[in-house]
Amino acid sequence: MNGLDEILTFYNHEGRAVAYLYEGEYIYLYDGTPVAWLRDGEFIYSYSGKYLGWVQDGWVRDMNGDAVFFTENASGGPAKPARQARPARGARGGRPARGAREARPARPARTVSWSRMSNESFFAQR
């Protein structure tokens, strides 16, 4: 990740801005809902503690290694659609307490396929 003050946008398979990384650690939806956090600049956890995936080369990857989101400077991966305009960011909601972190499974190989969860549902996994 880049500087802590930078807002990093996560775009889905349609090029729609779905979420953003704030202060290099906190992931919010554009309506201001806090949905996940980043550990060690790479591993994504929901606030309940569920391991969701990881960030590598500007791509968010799911548990199968499929591409969920891309950032402006993503390299490799599936074909990226044109990026749509980002919506206005809503007021950021308070972040919930973090649950105990789930153990990370072995990382699968990266694919050039888009995840079926290339939208807000990625953050709603139970």
pLDDT tens for each residue of 78-93: 999 999 999 999 999 9
How many percent of the chain have pLDDT more than 70?
95
Residues of the chain short of pLDDT 50, as ranges, are 1-4
105 contacts 14 by C-beta, under 8 angstroms: no
- Taking the C-alpha atoms of residue 107 and residue 101, their distance in angstroms, rounded to an integer, is 16
Task: Name the residue ranges covered by the structural domains of the chain.
Answer: 8-124
What pLDDT does residue 59 have?
97
What pLDDT does residue 126 have?
61
- Taking the C-alpha atoms of residue 28 and residue 7, their distance in angstroms, rounded to an integer, is 10
- Taking the C-alpha atoms of residue 63 and residue 51, their distance in angstroms, rounded to an integer, is 9
- Taking the C-alpha atoms of residue 4 and residue 106, their distance in angstroms, rounded to an integer, is 28
Strand partners, 75: none
What pLDDT does residue 5 have?
52
- pTM for this prediction: 0.92
Long-range contacts of 5-10 (CB under 8 A, 24+ apart): 7/89, 8/71, 9/71, 9/72, 9/86, 10/60, 10/68, 10/69, 10/70, 10/71
58 contacts 51 by C-beta, under 8 angstroms: no
